[in-house]
Copies of this chain bind each other. A is one copy, B any other.
Amino acid sequence: MSKCEQCIVREFSALKALNKDELVKLADCKTSYTVKKGDVIFDEGDNLDGIFCIKDGVCKLTKLSSNGKDQIVKLVTKGELLGQRSLISEEPTNLGAVALEDMHVCFIPKSQVMEFFNVNNKFSLNMMKNVCHDLKEADNVLVNLAQKSVKERLAATLLYLHDAFGVNEDDSLKIQLSRDEISSIIGTATESCIRLLSDFNKSGWIELSGKKIILKDKAALRKLAE
């Protein structure tokens, strides 16, 4: 069982408020495991009995719409916690979580989270701030989906992927999404997304080679995304 005290990732989440004793307790009760790319961490509607701390990797939070299509609501990465809302609300999850890469995650049982909650005010405040941040982001995404064109949303999404997940040595986006997944972020048909990527490519704003995407003209994309 690895020690949470030495886990750098903890510094990026609400868990940073925990003291030494609490970290020992945490290490004691957590379950650490790996998740393969494509694996389901939890399904929409699952009853979670704790939260997940992402040690490494990225996953998508999705919701199935009544039209049969999945919408990606949020990408969650290293250092973030999963399932907080469900835990606080004492409700089943509203979104499902699927790994986009191989991941390392730790599961922290509800009882332990609740204990920290009650004894460590800083921890609960941090967690609350996380949820508040998520709410702000969700509102912003909502406005973009309602008011911007697919083209604008694609440009904005490419820039977001660039800024949030960085690039490889060859400048290609580090995070690898299928065309279908990109469509599922911007809320459009896969073919429309592919077509627009082609257009962006022809305009010289991006460069496509296989699954790799390189942003060649971020200024142009930024102008489009506003």
User: Is A89's CB within 8 Å of the partner chain B?
Assistant: yes
Pair B138/A142 contact, Cβ less than 8 Å: yes
Pair B88/A129 contact, Cβ less than 8 Å: yes
Pair A145/B142 contact, Cβ less than 8 Å: yes
Interface residues of A (CB under 8 A from B): 63, 65-67, 69, 71, 73, 85, 88-89, 91, 94-95, 118, 121, 124-125, 127-129, 131-136, 138-148, 186-187, 226
Interchain CA distance A94-B133 in the complex, whole Å: 10
Contact partner of A146 (CB less than 8 A), chosen from B88, B139, B187, is B187
Contact partner of A89 (CB less than 8 A), chosen from B66, B88, B91, B136, is B136
Pair B73/A133 contact, Cβ less than 8 Å: no
Give the one of A69, A94, A132, A148 with max B CB within 10 A: A132
Chain B residues whose C-beta falls within 8 Å of the C-beta of A131 in the assembled complex: 128, 131-132, 135
Query: From A72, which residue of chain B is reached at the shortest CB distance?
Result: B146
Pair A226/B187 contact, Cβ less than 8 Å: no
Chain B residues whose C-beta falls within 8 Å of the C-beta of A143 in the assembled complex: 63, 65, 71, 73
Pair B144/A141 contact, Cβ less than 8 Å: no
Query: From A188, which residue of chain B is reached at the shortest CB distance?
Result: B146
Contact partner of A145 (CB less than 8 A), chosen from B94, B125, B132, B187, is B187
Give the one of A65, A125, A133, A142 with max B CB within 10 A: A142
> How many whole Å from A139's CB to the nearest CB in chain B?
5
* Shortest Cβ-Cβ A-B pairs, 10 listed: A146-B187, A65-B147, A138-B138, A66-B226, A145-B145, A71-B143, A89-B132, A142-B142, A135-B135, A85-B132
